[in-house]
Structures are given as structure tokens and as C-alpha cells.
A = this chain, B = another copy of it.
Amino acid sequence: MTDQMQHITLTSRPSGAPTADNFALETAPIPTPGAGEVLVRVHYMSLDPYMRGRMDDAKSYAAPVPIGGTMEGGGVGEVIASTADGFAVGDMVLGMFGWTTHAVANPSTLRKLDPQIAPVTTALGVLGMPGFTGWHGLMEYGRPKEGETLVVAAATGPVGSMVGQLAKALGLRTVGIAGGAEKCALATDTFGFDACIDHRAHDTARSLRAAIKDAAPTGVDIYFENVGGKVLEAVMPLMNPHGRIPICGMISWYNAGGLGAGADTALSAPALWRPILVNFLSVNGFIISNHWDRFPAFLTEVGPKVQSGEIKVVEDIAQGLENAPKAFMGLLEGKNVGKQIVKLMA
């Protein structure tokens, strides 16, 4: 049985929120690496909102996971066999292994990690794809200026907390939005947001808008968009002239059945489009995988800030591959606190 691995497959496509029935834990023989490949035993697996999109069969920037296919995702693991130049048994590597305990990989798709510089889990969060997303979106499309006001939701997540901390250090007023008092305390006390609003305390976009307005008395210059829905509806009328909206996600709509009717929002298309015109807004969608050429610059700038503790790291670590679906469903409901990771090795 030592030659067996476990992985989680997509058995059916969700309509709305995913359920346990959409996933299956399966066992398979550990694959053998071919010439020039490595075999990795995964230690930590990342869970991210974008994975919800891959479960749908809708046109998007990436192909959907096929039915019966292993769920996609990034992970950190240890090389346990290698015929590849430059990769030795024991090396720690980052790669897109999927929801699995073992994977064969082409070394060109791997990044070697130095555990002396930062804990390897940071390669999945603050120094990985989510942190890079926050940095690139803020700096490239947000164009922050001292004295401005920034709003970001999912403020304690790995994207939102990066955006808030970078913006604060640049002299912006930072207003976070998060679900629940515990997360709001984390946003202000640990991540240094000037204010945090608990969206669960506001049933309507109108009520949420009034709270944001109080926290952003001079209006909103940058709305870093990662949720859509009620928060977008609340913020849009508060945007200042020449405001910027980088869009990296819209998690509140991932569960709404794709392009569907937008049933969870009263926001009309004109109410969304007209402020872009009358306030001269700049709205840019992006996916970070188009921008890996900027990753070295990100690591150079942000890596030392993580090492020094200037940028804080908060992780939420679930135990065991079998618990990944539950942790993922919790992530989509905002139950995690900090970057959601699954630990696969005891």
C-alpha cells in the first residue's frame, strides 16, 4: 500500500454553492516520473476562490476541471524522486500539483523554495499567487497616491490583507470589509486597517454604503474588487472622480450560477456603468498568471517586508486531504481566517 496516493476529483458540477457530493476522495498508484521529471510528495495545498470558477463549464480564462479530473490547485512539496537536473531528493518546491498527495511534475513548472528565507507555506499566500495578485493589482491598476482612500473586501484574506498593508504603508487611508467581528478585529489590530466594516451587520447594500461612507469621509479613490455583489453595489456611488477599480475576482458571484441573472444583487447595468463615465473611473480586470514577468520584482520588494514582519502573515490550516472539500466550502462562505491552507503531512 505504500505505492498508493490519494487525490480529490470533481464528480459533478455544482449549481450554486458546492457540496460534498461534488467531490470524491480517490486512491491511485503513485506515478513514476519519466526522464527529466520529478516526483513530489505534497506537504501543503492551497485553497483559493478561483477554484470555484474551474468547477463550472463556463467560458473563462482557464479551462474547467473535467468531470472525473483531479481538482486543480497549487501546493508546496518535497521532491522524493528526481531525474531532473537541478532538483534533488529533499528539495522543497512550489507547483500546481492539484488536490493530491503526490504528483509528477516537469521541473520547468516548479519553483524551488528556500525554507531559510520564509516558511514554505508563505509561497502559497503572502509570497505566492495571492500576495502577488494584491501587489500587482494595487500598484499597476490601483495607482495609489498618498492621502487617498482605499476600500478592499475580504480584508483578512491573503489578497485583501496584502493590499491593505501596502496601501497603508504608502500613506493611504485603508478601509477593510470582512465578515464578522473577529475578522474585523484582525483587520485593524493585525493588518493595520484604519477601519473595518462587518458586512454581516448590513443586510442591504444601502446600509453597508452608509457604513463605508462614515469610514471613508472623503470618498473612495481605489476600490480593489475581489467580491462583486453587495459590496460593489455599496461602493460604486462612493467612488471619487478619477477613481480606480482593479478587478481580480468576484467571489460573491462565483456561486450565483455563472453569468446568471445576478439574483443576489439589485444592481442594474446602468447603475454600474454610469459611474464609470461620470466619475472618469479606470476599471481593469486581470488574472495574475498573465503577469509572471513581474514576479521577481514582487519578491524583491515584498519578500524583505515579510521577513522583517512589516507585512503580517495569518494562515488557517486544515488537516488532511480528506478535509479539503469542507475547508474549500468554508472558504467560499468566508469561514476561514487568513490564508486557507490544507496540511497533508502529519
B285 touching A276 by the CB < 8 A rule? yes
Would you list which residues of chain A between 225 and 252 have a CB under 8 Å from chain B?
228, 232-233, 241, 247-250
Q: Which residues of B contact A276 (CB under 8 A)?
A: 247, 283-285
A270 touching B277 by the CB < 8 A rule? no
Is residue A269 within 8 Å, beta carbon to beta carbon, of the partner chain? Answer: yes
Contact segment of A69-77, A145-153, A253-261: A253-261
Is residue A286 within 8 Å, beta carbon to beta carbon, of the partner chain? Answer: yes
B262 touching A268 by the CB < 8 A rule? yes
Number of interface residues of A (CB under 8 A): 41
Q: Which residues of B contact A256 (CB under 8 A)?
A: 270
Measured between alpha carbons, how far is A271 from B59 in the docked complex, in Å? 13
Is residue A83 within 8 Å, beta carbon to beta carbon, of the partner chain? Answer: no
Is residue A6 within 8 Å, beta carbon to beta carbon, of the partner chain? Answer: no
Residue in B268, B279, B283, B290 whose beta carbon sits within 8 Å of that of A269 in the complex = B268
Is residue A281 within 8 Å, beta carbon to beta carbon, of the partner chain? Answer: yes
Is residue A272 within 8 Å, beta carbon to beta carbon, of the partner chain? Answer: yes
Is residue A274 within 8 Å, beta carbon to beta carbon, of the partner chain? Answer: yes
B279 touching A61 by the CB < 8 A rule? yes
A272 touching B274 by the CB < 8 A rule? no
A285 touching B278 by the CB < 8 A rule? yes
Measured between alpha carbons, how far is A261 from B269 in the docked complex, in Å? 9
Is residue A60 within 8 Å, beta carbon to beta carbon, of the partner chain? Answer: yes
| Copies held by the complex | 2
Do A262 and B269 contact each other (CB < 8 Å), given the known contacts A61-B278, A247-B276, A284-B282? yes
Interface string of A287-324 (1 = CB under 8 A from B): 10010000000000000000000000000000000000
Measured between alpha carbons, how far is A324 from B255 in the docked complex, in Å? 51
Q: Which residues of B contact A59 (CB under 8 A)?
A: 278
Measured between alpha carbons, how far is A284 from B285 in the docked complex, in Å? 12
Interface string of A195-230 (1 = CB under 8 A from B): 000000000000000000000000000000000100
Residue in B61, B253, B267, B283 whose beta carbon sits within 8 Å of that of A283 in the complex = B283
* Residue among A59, A232, A249, A250 with most chain B CB within 10 A: A250
Q: Which residues of B contact A60 (CB under 8 A)?
A: 278
Do A261 and B268 contact each other (CB < 8 Å), given the known contacts A284-B281, A284-B282, A285-B277? yes
Q: Which residue of B lies closest to A272 (CB)?
A: B269
* Residue among A250, A268, A275 with most chain B CB within 10 A: A268
B285 touching A279 by the CB < 8 A rule? yes
Do A270 and B285 contact each other (CB < 8 Å), given the known contacts A60-B278, A276-B247, A277-B247? no
Q: Which residues of B contact A270 (CB under 8 A)?
A: 228, 250, 253, 256, 259-260, 262, 265
Residues of A at under 8 Å CB distance from B?
Answer: 59-61, 228, 232-233, 241, 247-250, 253, 256, 258-262, 265, 267-287, 290
A–B complex contacts, Cβ < 8 Å, 18 sampled = A61-B241, A61-B280, A232-B269, A248-B277, A250-B273, A250-B277, A253-B274, A259-B274, A262-B270, A265-B269, A268-B269, A272-B273, A276-B283, A276-B284, A276-B285, A277-B286, A280-B285, A282-B282
